[in-house]
Amino acid sequence: MPTPTHPLKIGTRGSPLALAQAHETRRRLQAAFDLPEAAFEISVIKTTGDRVLDRPLKEIGGKGLFTREIEEALLSGAIDIAVHSMKDMPVLQPEGLTLDCYLPREDVRDAFVSPGASGLADLPSGARVGTSSLRRKAQVLVAYPHLEVVEFRGNVQTRLKKLEDGVAACTFLAMAGLNRLGRADVATAAIDPEVMLPAVAQGAIGIERRAGDTRAADMLAAIHHGPTGQRLAAERAFLAALDGSCETPIAGLAELDGSTLRLRGEILRPDGGARYGDDATVPIEDGAALGREMAARLLSEAGPGFFDWRG
């Protein structure tokens, strides 16, 4: 058990949202084991994705950009556990690391944010929509081909400043992040998943550890949220079967209802030129199998080379 003299070291990115997620993890561990705050140490690690802000994610390497340096610190023993936004996580972990603890999932919806419009339908032809997400870009262009999508990277505060400066007429943020920052007021509107299906694992926090660390395993087991794990098992199986990365527009959402799991999945061309979706319900224990089957169905429907297109 950690103590103030031998604290459990929690690794995280340094953005306000990442720190809020690390603090939530610490609070849950404190409550589960009746430990003081001093029994934990939060260690900020700067990732490639945090350092390189002037280029699209697809140009500098995809999802691992926000996790690589943190996982290296975990493997070296510099930290004991790592707190991640699950939508940033690759589907495979490096050898020696395990990801089997999830906190209760937050709001999965995307937030529409604009100083002058209540929704995308209000924007005139040629209006600029700011986003760094290929999923959001493709979803916008499918429904509103008359709009222009421009690159919009940075944390919540940076993107709000770009909006204020007129770089774009609107942008999107995750409602989960705004809620965790106490900034739900920033959202002009929350977008129903029936309108804009969210990213796989959006709104979920995952906590990674070394595979052989029994102390960390026992502690994380006490705060793991089973239903979130069941939902992510289906969504991440879907993503894995599609070989999803930041270069492929993919959306997916699993929801539980009693003993059943509903999974909706979607793949899109980056230019909004094509979209394929599916929706199915199975017993919860079959969620991961459904994710793989749904991915296969969509790939078959889309045809070979669907994700080879680059705009």
Instruction: Please pick, among 88, 107, 110, 278, the residue that the annotation labels catalytic.
Output: 88
Is-catalytic flag, 88?
A: yes
- For the domain 236-299, what is the CATH superfamily, name and number? Porphobilinogen deaminase, C-terminal domain (3.30.160.40)
Beta bridge partners of 206: 84, 102
Distance CA 170, CA 178 (A): 16
CATH number of 8-105+204-224: 3.40.190.10
Backbone angles phi, psi at 110, to 5 degrees: -80, 150
In contact, 280 and 294? CB cutoff 8 Å: yes
- The pLDDT assigned to 3 comes to 86
Q: Which has the closest alpha carbon to 228: 284, 297, 268, 269?
A: 284
pTM: 0.91
User: So where are the chain's domains?
Assistant: 8-105+204-224, 110-191, 236-299
pLDDT tens for the chain, 311 residues long, are 898 889 999 999 998 999 999 999 999 999 999 999 999 999 999 876 655 555 555 554 555 667 889 999 999 999 999 999 999 898 989 999 999 999 999 999 999 999 999 999 999 999 999 998 999 999 999 999 999 999 987 777 888 889 999 999 999 999 999 999 999 999 999 999 999 999 999 999 999 999 999 999 999 999 999 999 999 999 999 999 997 555 689 999 999 999 999 999 999 998 899 999 999 999 999 999 999 999 999 999 998 888 775 54
Distance CA 295, CA 201 (A): 16
Same fold, 8-105+204-224 and 110-191: yes
Q: What is the dihedral of CA 86, 207, 70, 182, to 10 degrees?
A: 60
In contact, 39 and 114? CB cutoff 8 Å: no
Q: Which residue has the tokens 């459904």?
A: 290
Q: Which has the closest alpha carbon to 138: 255, 256, 247?
A: 247
Q: How many helices (H) and strands (E) does the chain have?
A: 10, 13
What does the chain come to in residues? 311
Its CATH architecture, for the domain 110-191, is: 3-Layer(aba) Sandwich (3.40)
Tokens standing for residue 30: 């404190």
Which residues fall within 8 angstroms of residue 83, CB to CB, at 6 or more apart?
10, 11, 12, 18, 21, 22, 25, 205, 206, 207
Q: Rounded to whole angstroms, what are the CA distances from 75 to 46, 81, 161, 211?
A: 16, 10, 36, 10
In contact, 147 and 125? CB cutoff 8 Å: yes
